[in-house]
Chain A
């Protein structure tokens, strides 16, 4: 077994996972806009077309609805497509096929088919791309039974969860924060999987639980580190998967710390923070709470173009530090 670990970027880790999946299984192929010679809008597919050819690294026309549908049809009939939406915002154009077809086909047909399609969504703000290229729409898809929805936060998980997604018999939607693509981290060589539906405790602590998703995991860890200097011991959970959601890890942590802060980039209202909060309120962990649950999420506005406004739209490290400090000190 090859256990060598190198530093790879998040984008390189995804690319390596896709290459491994294609090497191992002829049925696996990639579809998307400009993923061939261009290498993908974020260079995630890079030079894969040179290795695997245009039949397996297929450029599609700018047809998100049709493209998603072709991926669904190919999956139902024996292939293992990995479909890249150029920006997660364009999921809105493919929503029919994702929500009405991919998610429901197995159910509607009484289990007679499965839909092993993987869809990748470059998501999130911070690139100056304004309101139609910066959204975080994962909760939309997380609301749909039949889909699995994941948000890997590290290069290690990006590779392992993609390989788990390709092996999964059901449709898996992967939201990748664009600002993570260049982040480097340790990534083992060879094939390994990170299970879908299992959260990871990134930092252990006793005073407060922060449940974060995607890029917010790193911001939460930075905030926790800063607060450690003030003597506060903060636990940070990387949720990793929003459907299915890892109840046990979150509930267990809140029972230990008695305080919960949810941090996510998507618009705060009706989002993953609401789900995690309700999960705790409905569980035995409710009796352990020493303070109201606090959510930090995106502002109730589209993502603006101006860089200062853009930053102010989503939680930043000082926001997390302030909210966490208040919670631990009992100010809230």
Chain B
């Protein structure tokens, strides 16, 4: 028996996608997760400043709607490959911030048992095959995961997150071409935050829109406002449906902005304070989403305050868990290089 679509009243048809697609509970949860990403990043940054985390990290503050919008239509067993700026993707795919902090603190309770750190954060059980330190390194791997899905008929869809810098790597070209000729269930998500480290897309990329490159691979190329959750989720939903139907890949360009520098060594000399301020003040993804939620009566100021409080507590608990967790034994240095024979 065919399922009848839910009746939509005339005023609802004018609502943005997310407000037609998701329940108020789901939408409030999206807001909570966007806060969780931002506060996680801030907590990681603070822990770094305090010397609790070493190395470096790449923060995704400002890109929360992009991570959440793309992951919202996914099933738990769908898979993603992520980037060096991958903390948000990891949380959006369902990771526990406790184990993420533990990983950043280099502890055995971390997702990678302290071997990967920020740049290789993963959560295989939730379908996150890992962030990648090599720009575009994860794109062919996502295509391989999609090939497994097709061959083993698991129905899984694979998301390959990458940045604007990756679209100039050879791996991007090779992987998108193969995904298209084999009609694989993979979605290429370019989070274009305007800069590959210090080099702007205008200086590095011959096309105005990275999505324009989709034409070269005979796949749809979609541009979305990466700071608008609903717009991102709508594009992701369409691409997921296309992938699940066996119609092949889609390239989504999610135009967004990172507030922080590329990494901890960045002096921010390639962009103006005014530019950064403008994005923070006028286009903040959390602020925009919050405003919409209030407008549609899904949450009020008190509700938002409760979300912020519960996120604050979860972050504090996560950092405490990481602090208290045991460090790896030095004698275990050689573990996980090869599969241990039982």
Contacts and interface: CB of A to CB of B under 8 A. Distances in A.
A84 B95 CA distance: 36
Nearest to A105: B130
A63 B122 contact: no
Contacts of B336: 106-107, 109-111
A170 interface: yes
B129 interface: yes
Given A108-B130, A146-B338, A74 B147 contact: yes
Interface in B109-151: 110-116, 120, 122, 124, 129-130, 132-134, 137, 139-149, 151
Contacts of B297: none
A132 to B, nearest CB: 18
Nearest to B140: A69
A121 interface: no
A69 B171 contact: yes
Contacts of A72: 140-141, 144
Given A55-B151, A109-B112, A112-B112, A73 B142 contact: yes
Interface in B138-167: 139-149, 151-152
A291 B130 CA distance: 52
A70 B143 contact: yes
A101 B137 contact: yes
Given A61-B177, A170-B339, A112 B144 contact: no
B174 interface: yes
A29 interface: yes
A77 interface: yes
Interface in A76-98: 76-79, 81, 96-97
A185 to B, nearest CB: 30
A101 B143 contact: no
Interface residues of B, number: 45
A70 B124 contact: no
Given A65-B170, A113-B124, A70 B339 contact: no
B140 A97 contact: yes
Given A61-B178, A69-B171, A112-B124, A77 B339 contact: no
Contacts of B112: 108-110, 112
B113 A70 contact: no
A63 B339 contact: no
Nearest to A168: B339
A145 B337 contact: yes
B133 A100 contact: yes
A114 B110 CA distance: 18
Contacts of A97: 137, 140-141
B79 interface: yes
B133 A63 contact: no
A15 B2 CA distance: 50
Given A75-B144, A109-B122, A170-B339, 9 more contacts: A61-B174, A61-B177, A72-B140, A72-B141, A73-B145, A74-B148, A105-B130, A109-B111, A114-B339
